[in-house]
A and B are shown apart, each in its own frame.
Chain A
Amino acid sequence: MGILDSKVPKGPLAEKWTNHKNSIDLVNPANKRNIDVIVVGTGLAGGSAAATLAELGYNVKTFCYQDSPRRAHSIAAQGGINASKNYQGDGDSDYRLFYDTIKGGDYRSREANVYRLAEVSTNIIDQCVAQGVPFAREYGGLLDNRSFGGVLVSRTFYAKGQTGQQLLLGAYAAMNRQIQRGKIRSFTRHEMLDLVLIDGKARGIIARNLVTGEIERHSAHAVVIASGGYGNLFFLSTYCMGANVMAAWRTHRRGAFFANPCFTQIHPTCIPVSGDHQSKLTLMSESLRNDGRIWVPKNLDDAKAIREGKLKPTELKEEDRDYYLERRYPAFGNLVPRDVASRAAKERCDAGYGVNKTGEAVYLDFSAAITRYGTEKAYTSGLKDPDADTVRRLGEEIIESKYGNLFQMYEKIVDQNPYKTPMMIYPAVHYTMGGLWVDYNLQTTIPGCYSVGESNFSDHGANRLGASALMQGLADGYFVLPYTIGDYLSNDIRTGKISTERAEFDEAEKAVKERLEKLMSGKGLHSVDYYHKKLGKIMWDKCGMSRNEKDLKQAISEISALRKDFWENVKVPGTANSKNQELEKAGRVADFLEIGELFAKDALERNESCGGHFREEYQTPEGEALRDDENYKYVAAWEYKGEPKDAKLHKEELAYEFIELKTRSYK
C-alpha cells in the first residue's frame, strides 16, 4: 500500500461501513468534554460537521471568512439532493445510486467511499426533514421527487430551485443550537492562514481576524478542513467571489497530499461573458436542456451577421441551423452529460460559429418546445384550428410554469426576453472534483487533519453528476466524520489542553506575518485582480475544457513567471493591521498561482481523457474521450516539495472489486 493507505475496511461492499463503525474506537462522553476540534469552513460539510461534533460533546471552534455561516456558497446550489429512498417504487437502491455515481465519475473515485455515500444518503433526508427543511411535497403530504441528469429513477429531493439554500440553513440552524448551548464558538470574518503541527500532528491553526487584521492562534486536538473547491483560480466561474483554496492549500504546504487537481467540472449551461469587466458567471439549471434545443448557424457568414447584430436568430431558417448535439449524439441529443456538451459547444465556437459579440456563446432555443406545448394545450382545450399567436401564448404559459424563475434571472442579467429570442449560453467552471487526499476515515496524510465536502477528493471521480455535491457535503459532516474522528481522538483523552505558547505556534505565526508583510511591500503598478485575471486566462485557454501537451507545458512556465512577477510587483494598498479586502484577495491569489501550476502539471501527467479532463491527444476517431484504465486507474496524490514544479507524485491504485469498468458512449 505504500505511503497512501486508504484504510478501506475488508469484507463485502455493503457491510464495510457497518463493520468499520463497530470496530473503531470510541471516546467516553465525559472525555469528549476535554477535547477541542477546529472546523474551517461552515458550508454544508463544515456546518453539519461542527453541529454534530458539538452534539456529541466535543468543544468546537468554527471559522469562516463570511460575516455569517449562513452565507457559504452551498446556499447557491439549485437542483436537489439525491437519496436512494425508493419512495417512488421505481427500483432504486443503494447499489443503483452507488453504480450511477461511480460510472458518472468515469471510474476515478474510490469504490468503498462511494458505496458509503449511497448508504447514508437516506439518513440525510430523514435528518433534514426532522430539522424543518421545507422540501417540496405532494398533495398527500409526502415528499416529492424528481429525476435528474441521465439517471433512470426519481431520487432527487428538492426545495424549488433553492435546495442548497434550505439544506444550508438547516445545518446553520443546527450550528446555532450548539452555539446557544456554548458547545460551538463561531469565528466569522476570520480566515485560516496556516496549519500548526506538533510532533507531526495537526494541533491548531493561525487565523487572521479580517476586521481588525489581528493574527490569532487557536489550538485543538484535531483540525477539519471544509473550505470548498478551488474553481476560482479560473477567475471567472460560478463560484462566489470569496471562494478560495487557502485552508486546503496551506494544509498541503504543511504536508497533506493534494489529489487530482486537474479534475474540474465545466458546466455547459451558463450565461456567457459579456465584457472585460465581468466578475463572475451565473449558472442556468441543467434542467433547461430537457426542453431547450442547442444550435449555432450552419454558415460562417450567418454567424458573423448575428455577431454584428445584422441578423436575428429568429430570422434564420430551420435548414440553416446546426443542432450539433442532436447531429453528433443522436441517442442522447441535447441531454448528453456535462463534459460532452461543454466540449461540443467549445468546438463550434472555436470553429467560428459563436453567436454573441465575443464569439463564445451558443443558442439554447425553446421555440420548438413552445410550439409543441402550445399545440398540445390548444388541442386538449378543444381549440381545433388555433392561430400561431394562440399556440405561442399557450406554449409560453407552459414553459413559464416549468422554468419561470430561470427565465426571469436570465432576462435580468442579459436584458433579453428568452421567450421571444433564444438564450445564449456557454460553459463555465463550476466544481472541482480534486482536493485534499483523504483515507476512508476522511483523514488527510497529516494525522489529526481531516477534510470533508468539496475540499476532499474521494467521491466524485473525474466528473460529478447533478444533485450529488449536496449529498456528499452532508454525508461527510453529519454521518461519516463524527464517527471516524473518534477513532483518532480516543488516543487524545489524556493529552489535555494544547498550549498556543509552544514554539510551533511561534514559528507558524512568524511565517504568516512575513508572508503578509511581503504581500504589502510590492512596489509595482498592478492590482491583485490584474494577476488573477491573467492567471484565469492562462487556465481557461490552456487547462480548460481541452488540454494538450504543448499548451500545458506552456501554461506551467507562464504561471511560474506570473507568480514571480506577482510577488515582486503586486500593489496592495492600505495596511495589514486593519480591514483590508485587497490584502485578503492577495493572499488567496498567491495560493491560486501555486495550485494553478500544480493543476497543469497534474493534467500533463495524466495521459488519458476522462470526465472533466480531456487531453486532445487521447480521443477516439469520433472525438470522444479515450480513457486508459491500464495505466491511469489511480488517484494522483501530490506531495509538496516547495515550488509546484518539484511536487512529488504518489499513486493510489484504485481497486474495483465489485463493478466492472465500462466505456461511456452517448451516440
Chain B
Amino acid sequence: MKIYLKIWRQKDATSKGQMVKYTMDGIEGDMSFLEMLDVLNEELISKGEEPVEFDHDCREGICGTCSLQINGRPHGPDTLITACQLHMRSFKDGDSITIEPFRAKAFPVIKDLIVDRSAFDRIQQAGGYISVNTSGNTVDANAIPIEKENADDSFYAATCIGCGACVAACKNASAMLFTSAKVSQFALLPQGRVEATDRVMNMVRQMDLEGFGNCTNTGACEVECPKGISLENIARMNREYLSASIKG
C-alpha cells in the first residue's frame, strides 16, 4: 500500500510546530500503526533526519502510553482499541492519514507527538487511593464481603488505562470520565467510604486546577474510550460530589 502521511512536528514545548508530509510505500496490512511509524523512522534516520517521536510502550493496549490523534480521532478510526492495537489493514492503498498529538491545554506538547499527561497523576495524588497502611497488618481479605455486582462494576471502572483519549475527544477537554472512573471504583467498595467526601472534593478541585474543561454531557469521551468506560461513572461522581458538597 502507498500511504500519505501528514505528521505534527514540534521540536520542544516552546517551539512552534507544523504539519510535515511524508509518503510511505510498501505498507502491509498486518503491520500495526506504530510499526508503520517505526518503518518511517528507520527511513528518516537513514536519510540523516530526526525520527518522529511518539509515546508507546506495551504495544498490547493495556499501559495507556500511546496517545495519537489519527485523522482527528484519539487512537484512530476503530473503536475500543488503543493506537498500538490499530492495524494498517484498517486503511487502504492511497489513503491520507493525519497524525497529531492529543490536544488539550492541560496536556502540553513535549516533542512531536508526545504530550505531558502528568496532570492525571496529580489528580490521582489528590485522593485516588484508600488510606491504609502498607504494613501487612490488615484484616483477613474475606472479612469484608462485597456484593459481586458491586465488585464487578468497581472492576470495570478500575480498568481505565489513563491514556487521555477522553480529554482529547472532548470539545471542552474535560477530564470527567477519567476522574469519575477512579471515584467510582472506590464509591462502589466498602473499604474507602470513610474518606469519600474528601476524595471527591479534592480530586475534582485538582482536576479544575489543572485546566481541564467542564463536562457538557456530549458523550464523545465514552465513544472514544479504548476501554469502554461508561458515562454512568460521571453520573456517579456527580452524586458523590453533590452529597459531599452538602456535608462539606
Contacts and interface: CB of A to CB of B under 8 A. Distances in A.
Q: Report if A and B associate in a common complex.
A: yes
Given A131-B130, A165-B62, A412-B85, A141 B53 contact: no
A273 B159 CA distance: 28
B22 interface: no
A581 B51 contact: yes
Interface in A151-195: 159-160, 162, 165-166, 169, 172-174, 176-177, 179-180, 186, 188
B242 interface: no
A279 interface: yes
A51 B81 CA distance: 32
Contacts of B50: 573-574
B134 A51 contact: yes
Interface string A109-151: 0000000000010010111111110111111111100000000
Contacts of A188: 118, 121
A529 B42 contact: yes
B65 interface: yes
Interface residues of A, number: 80
B120 interface: yes
A415 interface: yes
A117 B62 CA distance: 28
B28 interface: yes
A87 interface: yes
B18 interface: no
B202 to A, nearest CB: 9
Main secondary structure of the interface of B (DSSP, over half): loop
B20 interface: no
Interface in A542-601: 571, 573-574, 578-579, 581-582
B65 to A, nearest CB: 5
A573 B28 CA distance: 27
A141 B134 contact: no
Contacts of A242: 57
Nearest to A55: B134
A282 B28 contact: no
Contacts of B191: 129-132
A76 B63 contact: yes
B87 A415 contact: yes
Chain B CB within 10 Å, residue with most, of A120, A137, A415: A137
Interface string A406-425: 00010011110000000000
Interface in A278-326: 278-280, 282-283
Interface in A80-115: 85, 87
Contact of A141 (B116, B118, B147): B147
A450 to B, nearest CB: 17
Nearest to B124: A176
A141 B58 contact: no
Contacts of B46: 525, 527
B185 interface: yes
A348 interface: no
Nearest to B144: A129
Contact of B60 (A76, A123, A177, A415): A76
Contact of B138 (A55, A126, A159, A574): A126
A165 to B, nearest CB: 6
Given A132-B189, A142-B142, A241-B56, 12 more contacts: A66-B63, A72-B63, A130-B138, A131-B132, A165-B159, A177-B129, A240-B59, A277-B38, A282-B60, A415-B30, A415-B87, A478-B134
Interface of B: 11-12, 28-32, 34-36, 38-39, 42, 45-46, 48-51, 53, 55-65, 81, 85, 87, 89, 110-111, 114, 116-118, 120-121, 124-136, 138-142, 144-148, 151-152, 154-155, 158-159, 161-162, 185-186, 189, 191-192
23 contacts: A48-B134, A55-B134, A76-B58, A120-B136, A126-B139, A128-B141, A130-B132, A132-B186, A134-B185, A137-B146, A142-B142, A166-B155, A177-B131, A180-B125, A180-B126, A186-B121, A277-B36, A409-B60, A412-B81, A415-B29, A527-B42, A529-B38, A579-B114
